[in-house]
């Protein structure tokens, strides 16, 4: 009975979409998020819906548990398997816990990808990272250099001296430093992701390097504290604070002028790309090392040995768009 | 001269001057008056907190929950301001001081009425207060653009050449100094810590005195909560994480005995300044971040070692004649 009903519905839908004659029915792509009601994921859904509209024959099911638990996500995934969706794109609450449920989905012919927060290799056909360390490293120095046509001294305010992410990004940044003429990285200091220490380190930078033109802080606590310290020292316009931060946290400082621009991944693009990749896989593309999958307006993503790919450069936020995104995340 | 050197405060003043001089050798800009004023301003919050901690330590207790109290009060201040930007800032401050004192009184009541060891009580409330911030904010940050301009402006507003933040700490020092030296409560703090049994016989309620000390430290933590959040223009669960250790370190460096009964307002202030100078100097003298941690730790241990030596009281001979016989 249920099958009959479903068949009738799909027939009706496909009749309504006669223009897409090539496809017999709508492809159902489930976007599973860490939890419902989080601005970042609501924005990702916005992107997924955009992709669905562009593709025409796709229905995006936006779902997730109410709290960020792996158990909740497993329940959601099981119910999606029962609904016979064509693809699941998940941002996982736990790397390993979801693997059995997702394996079951793949055995039933459902395409599974992870995005934002990945699942272990066995539980998905590919993982979409929002960006990559080389892209981030390049972006943070580019943001500083773009405001300094004549070059100048810049300093890095990191988190702790042992934080892996920040160290990797800074190392990647230093690799491409030669591409930005006249940009001179004078110091790297550590604010330990504490507001007061980051603030003090920034004051130290201002004192030690009178010709400092920019501070790059690839950490959300650091960039906010540095911006505040620059404002308090009356150096707005002289020293530009940039790096990685969230629009909601940085909106005030962009308005105050201490930060001209900063970057972080764009959740809308991420949801859009995940949907596009899922669609590409449903259409027969294979996720294997070296493969290139289509992401619509975002271009293509090339998979590495772990079947992971990076979407794009971090997205740049400035006075023009920060207010709008501050409402999202 | 010899008696002068025995005075702990004078010793600390000399140590701080020597420290500043050493730093100036590597970074001359450090001794510029404007910079010293900046260092004092940066240390103001620590000073206010150390004054509260001093009162608690004097009564043979300890308050590990101060930084968590600061964070919770700060978060409440930020949330109140974000929701009702129209409320005048002095009223917001009054609210958070009251809230901080109430949080402190919880510590005090548990120590007083249930007789639970202070370190256990405040270790418990430390996590409870941090957890409460998470429940209140759901983990979200309150950011600069959500706070009103007046809220952020107050601590940095200049008043006779110095920011209000600096003046507030001066005010706190003066108020606590008067409390400690000119009121029965202040005397009671010393008496309770010096000898609780003797204090009882003089009519002092030991539990109640400890309760009051916790209320004082809580209220000062509440005030610091507003100052911290408005100074750094951000409030989130982890602000001032681990700061309780800095506060206690400042007290210990300032010669306040963990065993209770010994200490002074001057000591707490100088201990805070000593730490503040180090914290502000480390970024400008250009040494590795790993060495920075080691230096901070070494200085504290040296200070405590010196402290322990001067504290070792020689047994007093009260029956001179009997001894002579």
pLDDT tens figures, B50-83 = 999 999 999 999 999 999 999 999 999 999 999 9
* Contact flag B232-A253 (C-beta cutoff 8 Å): no
Q: Do A217 and A298 sit in the same domain of this protein?
A: no
pLDDT recorded at residue A24: 53
- The total of structural domains in chain B comes to 1
B322: pLDDT strictly greater than 70: no
CA–CA distance, B183 with B212 (Å, rounded to integer): 13
B110-135 per-position pLDDT tens digit: 999 998 999 999 999 999 999 999 88
Task: Answer whether A88's CB lies under 8 Å from A77's CB.
Answer: yes
Cβ B240–A196 below 8 Å, yes or no? yes
Which domain, by its residues, includes B44? 2-324
* Residue ending a domain, choose from A205, A239, A264: A264
Tokens 């064509």 -> residue: A86
In this structure, the dihedral spanned by the alpha carbons of residues B314, B315, B316 and B319, taken in order and rounded to 10 degrees, is -150
User: Which run of H or of E encompasses A53?
Assistant: helix A39-55
pTM: 0.79
The reply to whether residue A255 touches residue B240, judged by beta carbons under 8 angstroms, is no
Instruction: Tell me the torsion sign for CA atoms A58, A64, A68, A69.
Output: negative
Please answer yes or no on whether A224 and B144 come within 8 Å at the CB atom: yes
pLDDT, tens digit only, all 329 positions of chain A: 556 566 555 555 554 444 444 445 788 999 999 888 777 888 899 999 999 999 989 999 999 988 778 899 999 999 999 999 999 999 988 888 899 999 999 999 999 999 988 888 889 999 998 888 899 999 999 999 999 988 899 999 998 888 888 888 999 999 999 899 889 999 999 998 888 999 999 999 999 999 999 999 998 889 999 999 999 999 999 999 999 998 988 999 999 999 999 999 888 999 999 999 999 999 888 888 888 888 988 888 888 888 888 888 899 999 999 988 888 77
Tally of domains in chain A: 2
Query: What SS3 class is residue A328?
Result: coil
If asked whether residues A216 and A172 sit together in one domain, one would say: yes
Helix (H, G, I), strand (E, B) or coil at A252: helix
pLDDT of residue A76: 93
Identify whether residues A260 and A288 lie together within a single domain.
no
- The pLDDT value given to residue B221: 97
State how far the Cα of B168 lies from the Cα of B157, in Å rounded to an integer: 12
Question: Around Cβ A169, how many Cβ atoms within 10 Å?
Answer: 28
Q: What is the rounded CA–CA span in Å between residue B152 and residue B150?
A: 5
Across residues B14-32, what is the average pLDDT? 89
- Cα–Cα dist B217/B66, whole Å: 7
Host H or E run for residue B223: helix B206-232
Closest by Cα among A185, A179, A188 to A142: A179
Give the pLDDT score at A7. 58
- Please report the pLDDT score of residue A23 as a whole number: 46
Min Cα separation B306/chain A (Å)? 28
**Angstrom distance (rounded) from CA B182 to CA B296:** 35
A292-294 and A300-302 strand pairing: antiparallel
Same-domain pairing of A72 and A144 = no
User: What's the CATH number where B261 sits?
Assistant: 1.10.3470
Q: Assess whether A153 and A33 both reside in one domain.
A: no
What's the CA gap between A160 and A170, in Å, rounded? 12
**Closest Cα partner for A213 from A241, A245, A251?**
A241
Task: Assess if residue A317 is contained within a domain.
Answer: no
Per-residue pLDDT, B314? 52
Pair A76, A166 in one domain: no
* Whether A81 and A157 share a structural domain: no
A150/A166 same-domain check:
yes
pLDDT band at residue B178 using 50, 70 and 90 as cut-offs = very high
Question: Which residue, among A60, A93, A53, A57, has the nearest Cα to A74 in the 3D structure?
Answer: A93
Q: Are residues A254 and A275 in the same domain?
A: no
pLDDT number for residue B125: 95
Q: Give residue-wise pLDDT tens across range B260-308.
A: 888 999 999 999 999 899 889 888 887 777 787 788 788 778 877 776 6
Q: Is residue A322 part of a domain?
A: no
Say if residue A140 is in the same domain as residue A259.
yes
> B198 vs chain A: nearest CA distance in angstroms?
43
Judgement on whether residues A211 and A248 belong to the same structural domain of the protein:
yes
CATH number of the CATH domain containing A113? 3.40.50.2300
Residue A244 is given by DSSP the state B
Query: Do A77 and A187 reside in the same domain of the chain?
Result: no
- On whether residue A318 sits in a domain, the answer given is no
**Domain enclosing residue A81, as ranges:** 2-129+267-312
User: Distance, in angstroms, between B301 CA and closest chain A CA?
Assistant: 21
Nearest residue of B to residue A254, measured between CA atoms: B145
Among A270-279, B14-23, B88-97, the minimum mean pLDDT is found in B14-23
Residues of B with CB under 8 A from a CB of A: 27, 29, 35, 38, 42, 141, 143-147, 156, 228, 231-234, 239-243, 279-280, 282-284, 286, 288-290
């Amino acid at each position: 009975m249920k099958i009959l009903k479903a068949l009738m519905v799909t027939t009706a839908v496909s009749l309504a979409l006669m223009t897409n004659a090539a496809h017999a029915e709508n492809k159902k792509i489930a976007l599973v998020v860490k939890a419902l009601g989080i601005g970042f994921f609501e924005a990702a859904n916005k992107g997924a819906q955009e992709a669905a509209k562009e593709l025409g024959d796709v229905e995006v099911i936006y779902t997730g548990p109410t709290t960020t638990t792996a158990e909740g996500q497993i329940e959601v995934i099981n119910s999606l398997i029962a609904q016979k969706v064509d693809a699941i794109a998940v941002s996982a609450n736990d790397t390993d816990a979801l693997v059995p449920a997702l394996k079951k989905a793949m055995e039933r012919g459902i395409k599974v990808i992870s995005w934002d927060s990945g699942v272990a290799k066995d539980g998905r056909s590919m993982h979409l990272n929002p960006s990559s360390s080389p892209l981030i490293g390049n972006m943070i120095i580019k943001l500083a250099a773009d405001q300094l046509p004549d070059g100048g001294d810049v300093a890095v305010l990191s988190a702790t001296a042992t934080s892996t992410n920040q160290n990797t990004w800074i190392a990647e940044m230093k690799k491409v430093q030669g591409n930005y003429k006249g940009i001179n990285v004078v110091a790297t200091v550590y604010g330990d992701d504490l507001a007061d220490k980051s603030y003090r380190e920034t004051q130290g930078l201002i004192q030690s390097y009178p010709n400092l033109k920019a501070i790059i802080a690839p950490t959300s606590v650091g960039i906010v504290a540095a911006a505040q310290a620059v404002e308090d020292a009356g150096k707005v316009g002289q020293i530009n604070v940039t790096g990685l931060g969230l629009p909601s946290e940085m909106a005030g400082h962009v308005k105050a002028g201490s930060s001209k621009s900063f970057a972080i991944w764009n959740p809308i693009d991420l949801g859009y790309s995940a949907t596009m990749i899922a669609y590409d896989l449903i259409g027969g593309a294979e996720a294997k090392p070296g493969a290139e999958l289509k992401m619509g307006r975002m271009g293509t993503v090339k998979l590495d040995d772990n079947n992971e790919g990076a979407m794009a450069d971090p997205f740049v936020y400035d006075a023009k768009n920060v207010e709008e995104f501050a409402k999202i995340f | 001269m010899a008696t002068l050197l025995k005075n702990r405060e004078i010793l600390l003043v000399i140590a701080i001057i020597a420290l500043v001089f050493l730093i100036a050798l590597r970074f001359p800009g450090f001794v510029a008056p404007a910079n010293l004023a900046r260092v004092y301003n940066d240390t103001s919050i620590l000073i206010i907190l150390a004054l509260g901690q001093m009162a608690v330590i004097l009564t043979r207790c300890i308050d590990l929950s101060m930084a968590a109290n600061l964070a919770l009060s700060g978060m409440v201040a930020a949330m109140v301001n974000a929701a009702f930007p129209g409320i005048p800032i002095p009223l917001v401050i009054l609210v958070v001081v009251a809230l901080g004192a109430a949080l402190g009184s919880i510590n005090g009541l548990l120590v007083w009425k249930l007789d639970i060891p202070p370190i256990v009580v405040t270790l418990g409330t430390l996590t409870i207060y941090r957890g409460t911030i998470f429940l209140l904010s759901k983990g979200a940050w309150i950011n600069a653009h959500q706070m009103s301009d007046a809220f952020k402006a107050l601590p940095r507003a200049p008043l006779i050449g110095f920011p209000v933040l600096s003046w507030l700490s001066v005010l706190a020092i003066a108020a606590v100094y008067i409390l400690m030296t000119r009121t029965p409560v202040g005397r009671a703090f010393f008496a309770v810590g010096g000898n609780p049994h003797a204090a009882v016989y003089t009519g002092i309620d030991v539990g109640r005195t400890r309760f009051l000390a916790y209320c004082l430290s809580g209220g000062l933590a509440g005030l610091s909560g507003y100052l911290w959040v408005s100074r750094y223009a951000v409030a989130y669960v982890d602000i001032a994480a681990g700061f309780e250790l800095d506060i206690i370190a400042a007290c210990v460096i300032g010669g306040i005995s963990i065993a209770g009964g010994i200490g002074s307002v001057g000591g707490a202030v100088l201990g805070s300044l000593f730490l503040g100078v180090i914290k502000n100097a480390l970024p400008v003298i250009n040494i590795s971040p790993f060495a920075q941690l080691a230096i901070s730790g070494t200085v504290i241990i040296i200070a405590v070692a010196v402290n322990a030596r001067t504290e070792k009281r020689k047994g007093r001979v009260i029956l001179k004649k009997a001894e002579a016989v």
